[in-house]
Structure 1
């Protein structure tokens, strides 16, 4: 009989996680479609198939729910684009592994919708900063270490690897604002491949040592 207690506890924990994940899935869709201000906790609770009281048990406020949604979105973004770059590998080859999945995700409809929500609340909270810090910690710190090793090997110029990473980051983000304004369609695969080649050529033209 005592064995039933931990099993019941495990089932309850699993159900709690599944319930929380369902709420976040629904909230992400509603926030993306309607924005932060136009979204209500009642609306999310109804679509998630539960009561508003249950929703508040998981998330004390709409701001907390948004933050959790953005954190989950940042984690999913990182999981889809994070590649362990080989500092001993060929620079162009490694960048060609990293950039296409980054650009596919960055210039997707879903990411544009999510970033619009981040921008809409950025002036009133630190949610935007926390969202982008998470992406930096999980993705771009990895790129900085890779570029540092390439510099140590004499492939790239002996410059601050963080500065080089920031430049590469800017080359990737260069047209995001156009996408956010709705003045450009999400990138198709041909555009992703074309921009990958362009970014690599621009980056290497500036930082590659001539005889490398």
Structure 2
């Protein structure tokens, strides 16, 4: 009899997580498609297959729901692009592994839609800052550590690894405004590979030690 209590609790917890994930999945699609202002909690509740009251039990406000959606989006972004960079390997080789998945994800239709939502709430919320901080903490901190290792090995010039990482970040983000404005299509694989080579060449031209 007593053994049924924890099992029921576990089932309820699992069901609650599944329900929350479903809400976030629907909310992500609706926010990206319609934007923050044009999206209502009633609309999301209906599409998620529940009541607005149930939705508010999970998320007290539309802002809380958006933040949770962006947190999930940042986590998924990081999971897709984050790789273990080998500090003992060649700099060009490791950047050649890291950049293509980063650029594919960054210059995709889905990311552009998500970033437009982030920008739209940036003037009256800290949600945008928190979203970008999550990406920086998960992705670019690891890049900074890798570059620091390359400096220690004498592969890169003895400069601030954080500055190098910021420069690489800027090279990756160089066309993102054009994408967000709808003045450029999401990148196909040919564009990803071409830009990967350009970014690596540009970065190493500045920071790689000339051994000739």
TM over 0.5: yes
Q: State the match for 2:57 in structure 1.
A: 57
Q: State the match for 2:44 in structure 1.
A: 44
What SS class does the counterpart of residue 209 from structure 2 fall into? coil
Q: State the match for 2:180 in structure 1.
A: 180
What SS class does the counterpart of residue 86 from structure 1 fall into? coil
Q: Does 1:75 align with 2:75?
A: yes
CA distance in 2, matches of 1:4, 1:97: 49
Q: Shift of residue 210 of structure 1?
A: 0.1
TM (norm. structure 2) is 0.99
Structure 1 residues 87-145: Cα deviation after superposition (integer angstroms, max 9, x where no partner): 11111110010000000000000000000000000010100000000000000000000
1:47-126 correspondence to structure 2 within 5 Å: 47-126=47-126
Q: Shift of residue 22 of structure 1?
A: 0.2
Q: State the match for 1:146 in structure 2.
A: 146
Structure 1 residues 157-186: Cα deviation after superposition (integer angstroms, max 9, x where no partner): 000000000000000000000000000000
What SS class does the counterpart of residue 89 from structure 1 fall into? coil
What SS class does the counterpart of residue 28 from structure 1 fall into? helix
TM (norm. structure 1) is 0.99
Q: State the match for 1:160 in structure 2.
A: 160
Q: Which runs of 5+ in 2 are unaligned?
A: none
Q: Shift of residue 84 of structure 1?
A: 1.1
Q: Shift of residue 59 of structure 1?
A: 0.1
CA distance in 1, matches of 2:132, 2:88: 28
CA distance in 2, matches of 1:109, 1:115: 10
CA distance in 2, matches of 1:82, 1:149: 17
Q: State the match for 2:11 in structure 1.
A: 11
Q: State the match for 1:198 in structure 2.
A: 198
What SS class does the counterpart of residue 15 from structure 2 fall into? helix
CA distance in 2, matches of 1:210, 1:137: 31
Q: Shift of residue 51 of structure 1?
A: 0.0
Q: Which runs of 5+ in 1 are unaligned?
A: none
Residue-pair matches, total: 212
CA distance in 2, matches of 1:150, 1:211: 15
Q: Does 1:208 align with 2:208?
A: yes
